[in-house]
Amino acid sequence: MKKIILLIIAVIGVVLLLASCTNTKEGMIKIRLNEVTHSVFYAPQYVAINKGFFKEEGLDIELYNGGGADKVMTAVLSGQADIGFAGAETAIYVYNEGKEDYCVVFAQLTRCDGSFLVGRNPEPDFTWSNLTGKHIIGGRKGGMPCMTLEYVLKKNGVIPGKDVLVDTTVQFDLMAGAFTGGMGDYVTLFEPTASMLEKEGKGYVLASVGKGSGETPYTTYFAKKSYIEKNPGIIQKFTNALYRGQVWVMEHTPEEIAEVIKPSFPDTDLELLTMVARRYKEVDAWKTEPYIKKEALELLYEVMTEAGELDKKPPYEEIIDNSFAEKTVKK
């Protein structure tokens, strides 16, 4: 009888221990975050993950690489992701399609295009007019990298389709491979890919696309309207952690940024990460707060209209919700 009682006590103890572990695990809220690509351009996000800012808010981030903004939006709309991380143009497209449960943008990470123009030869006196008569691998038609590139070209008097060929046939995540395989004269790439090609002698970084475009809601966080309405606390916690990452990056050096984001880029050496972080700091690529400015959205509308991709401008208040950003900055 004593043995049976002791066995029962032991079993109860194990059950209670397991329950305790389960409850501890359940205390963290799992967030499936789908990012448009994996780039040092998103350093504040990786800082927030690696420094534990999300965990301190009770969020367990599961990060997935969508491999393109259209794929990110598909994942969010289908319920395969809770939060999407891509250009705000995707939310505009969905809204204009008339979907009832469309996506709302609630935070912004980057303030301009993060891609760099890479050529086959060094051009120390590069100007955008050098691209006249050339072939550029520009990304997906209707995607922000391609539309921003075309906008910058036009600003500099180089007309896509007339003065220069902007190739939109190559998938976003295959652009570097197509270029090194011999396609095109130039390509636009994010970091660290652009600097890696330069380090390997396969290309040369010539110009920042973002530096010539101005501030737009280039890379943003969004979720379905229904998800935000049901989970305002989660969205607030997410924005809180993100803002801490933005502030940390603003206050630290490229060397310190590289050290913190290194676990997110295990195959990239520290020297290269530092160089890339410095390059993004120099072009003022990162937002210092998660607000989405109305004038920045208006510029995005202009870029999309110039590209022939926008027939109707959604009301700012319909697709942008700054309430979470406002609360976290005040806090």
CATH topology of domain 116-212: D-Maltodextrin-Binding Protein; domain 2 (3.40.190)
**28-112+216-330 fold:** D-Maltodextrin-Binding Protein; domain 2 (3.40.190)
Per-residue pLDDT of the chain (331 residues; tens, 9 = 90+): 444 443 443 433 433 333 333 333 468 999 999 999 899 999 999 999 999 999 999 999 999 999 888 999 999 999 999 999 999 999 999 999 999 999 999 999 999 988 999 999 999 999 999 999 999 999 888 888 899 999 999 999 999 999 999 999 998 889 999 999 999 999 999 888 999 999 999 999 999 998 888 889 999 999 999 999 999 999 999 999 999 999 999 999 999 999 999 999 999 999 999 999 999 999 899 999 999 999 999 999 999 999 899 999 999 999 999 999 999 999 8
Question: CB-based contacts of 131: which residues, under 8 Å, 6+ apart?
Answer: 153, 158, 163, 164, 186
What pLDDT is attached to residue 26? 61
CA pair distance 106, 235, nearest whole angstrom: 8
Residue-range domain boundaries for the chain: 28-112+216-330, 116-212
Q: Is the pTM of this model over 0.85?
A: no
Sorted by sequence, the CB contacts under 8 Å of residue 248 that are 6+ apart come out as: 44, 47, 48, 51, 260
Task: Judge whether 28-112+216-330 and 116-212 match in fold.
Answer: yes
